[in-house]
Amino acid sequence: MSSRQADMPVGLLADVFERIEAITSRTQMTALLVGLFKQTPPEIIDRVVYLIQGRLWPDWKGLPEIGVGEKLLVKAIALATGVTEASVEGLSKSLGDLGKAAEQLKSKSTGRSQGVTLLSYTQQRTELTVNRVYETLVRVAMAQGEGSKDIKIRLLAGLLKEASPKEAKFIVRFVEGRLRVGIGEATIMDALATIYGGGVAARPLIERAYNLRADLGEVAKILASKGLEAVKEVRPEVGTPIRPMLAERLSDPGEILEKVGGDAFIEYKYDGERAQIHKKGDKVWIFSRRLENITQQYPDVVELARNHLKADEAIVEGEIVAYDPETGELKPFQELMHRKRKHDIHSAIKEYPVKVFLFDLLYLNGHDYTVETLPVRRSKLEEVVDKVEEFTIAEYIRTNKVDELEKFFLKAISEGAEGVMVKALHGDSIYQAGTRGWLWIKFKRDYRSEMVDTVDLVVVGAFHGKGRRGGKYGALLMAAYNDEKDVFETVCKVGSGFKDEDLDKLPEILKPYMRDRRHPRVVANMEPDVWVEPALVAEIIGAELTLSPVHTCAYGKVKSDAGISIRFPRFIRWRPDKSPEDATTSNELVEMYQQQLKKITGETKPSEEA
């Protein structure tokens, strides 16, 4: 039994769940929750809220899930009701609901057991309580390792044996992760506001507390135990994630600047994983956009935060981006997925290194910065970050001019970013945790065209390598042939796709063609470490064709201040069978871009979109 004195029958919860199943009105649903919360002791309201949410604790705590699959659950039901596993499976299949199967079997087993002796008619069933159910389910979740399956089955069977048929139905559904009552966070907050806040007018205060402290059970307990004034005092807490601020989306740069009030920060929207980094002394936590604890995936980021966040306590937000340490090029989001899948995280760190680009400060040494304007937050962020290549501030500019926004957008795309974020700077530009609004606007226009075929490009320059490629060339500047002007126009800088032997041979391959200055037939804005006479042709593939203010291929043909470039280019092979004039032409790239252009306004990465 719990050390907590306060408790309540879990049957009250089961009754509410059953009644909610039969209604479709959210108002009625809220009224039923209000009735339930009236009967709930403040000491256990957190547990009641968790059970309503179908969880034992917030996901971000990183604690184990219940870890009981259908087969184990069938065994537990069979053990609790005295029937065979085949009988449980058969009934579940016919009803389409393992919870209902448990309910029916419990009804029958209760009837059978009551027919055994006269004494059983007068015996009272031990009433299951919220604490008993919650604590048993916690023990089920915490049972790990050898022999844990048997422990889980015995604990669940014991619980189901004590449960009424109705209680058994909802316990089984809870364990399955299919509670089916459809009670959302908003409905829970409305009910809490009605009971403890004097009405729905208190809802925004409760929601703000929840946005700053992403644990609705904890917020409910503060409200029920200490009142609305205590909820107003809720501040960010290091180690507890803040629900992230979200952005709207527009494709017209003029309209975007108008929406944010004219003056704005324009910053790169990186193609990475949004991360909220918490630091307290030497302890560091990292939470994803969905508030999952992803600290274990990024021990290198933990170390970077320890060494380069100059604060005792801080919560900062940024983007973790994969990159190629030998070329410095950013890599697409998909590269980070290897971090999730690799069991040996230390080898993953070497294979898939990352950079961190920070863009916000939410809390610092006891001060809540979510209530400060963006210029104040950014200024303080600049102060507390000891910038190094792998841990720095996101690239950004401040402007109120449409042409500068557009130019910076194209620069971002050409450097591997997804687009830009435009952020308001006016007096109301606070950090709106958990809210999507017009203070932040994504600009991700349809200036990208999916690349489905390879192209043949000409080497016109080379860049010295870094890291493992030190002392070698790490990347090449590639160009298309403009057959109308008889010049070579740059398209991309390629550093991926080369094998070690390719890199070893590069100095020898390039040596006959190296020059002190740009060849007169090369048109380039980008300056390589070494210029190369246009003679060597290579086959290149990329993720997509895009527009770039940096590259000169077909400059001005699609857009007045941009050329065509390749996002995430990769070397395939040399083409010694082709002369430079046989390379893909600038006009061919324009045609490919226009033919394959796909509207991406509606495309997002579901887990990582801001």
How many helices (H) and strands (E) are present in the chain, helices listed first? Answer: 22, 22
Q: Determine which helix (DSSP H) or strand (DSSP E) holds 539, and give its type and residue range.
A: strand 537-541
Distance, in Å, from the CA atom of 154 to the CA atom of 480, rounded to the nearest integer, reads: 70
Question: What would the two tokens of residue 195 be?
Answer: 């009971």
274 is in an annotated binding site: yes
Whether 106 sits among the annotated catalytic residues: the reply is: no
Give me the count of residues in the chain.
610
Task: Compute CA 183 distance to the chain's CA centroid, rounded to the nearest angstrom.
Answer: 24
Question: What would the two tokens of residue 126 be?
Answer: 């031990």
- For the purposes of burial, counting CB atoms within 10 Å of the CB of 456, is it exposed (0-12), middle (13-18) or buried (19 or more)? buried
Q: Determine which helix (DSSP H) or strand (DSSP E) holds 347, and give its type and residue range.
A: helix 345-351
289 is in an annotated binding site: yes
- Indicate the DSSP class of residue 262: S
Distance, in Å, from the CA atom of 237 to the CA atom of 368, rounded to the nearest integer, reads: 9
Which 3-state string (H, E, C) describes 22-66?
Answer: CCCCHHHHHHHHHHHHHCCCHHHHHHHHHHHHCCCCCHHHCCCCC
359 is in an annotated binding site: yes
- Of 148, 130, 129, the closest CA to residue 139 belongs to 148
- Indicate the DSSP class of residue 200: G
Query: How far, CA to CA in Å, does 577 sit from each of 42, 339, 609?
Result: 79, 40, 44
Distance, in Å, from the CA atom of 456 to the CA atom of 537, rounded to the nearest integer, reads: 6
Distance, in Å, from the CA atom of 357 to the CA atom of 318, rounded to the nearest integer, reads: 5
Question: What would the two tokens of residue 222 be?
Answer: 């503060």
CB within 8 Å of 94: residues ≥ 6 apart: none
Distance, in Å, from the CA atom of 215 to the CA atom of 493, rounded to the nearest integer, reads: 46
3-class secondary structure, 545: strand
Residue recorded with tokens 């060494």: 307
Question: What would the two tokens of residue 496 be?
Answer: 């991926």
3-class secondary structure, 387: coil
Which 3-state string (H, E, C) describes 62-125?
Answer: CCCCCCCCHHHHHHHHHHHHCCCHHHHHHHHHHHCCHHHHHHHHHHHHHHHHHCCCCHHHHCCC
3-class secondary structure, 210: helix
237 is in an annotated binding site: no
Catalytic-role residue among 100, 269, 331, 493: 269
- Of 516, 486, 505, 522, the closest CA to residue 576 belongs to 505
Distance, in Å, from the CA atom of 467 to the CA atom of 450, rounded to the nearest integer, reads: 31
Q: Which residues of 152-174 are buried (b: 16+ CB within 10 A; e: fewer)?
A: bbebbbebbbbbbbbbbbbbbbb
Q: Which residues are catalytic?
A: 269
Residues annotated within the binding site are 267, 274, 289, 319, 359, 436, 442
Residues annotated within the binding site for ATP are 267, 274, 289, 319, 359, 436, 442
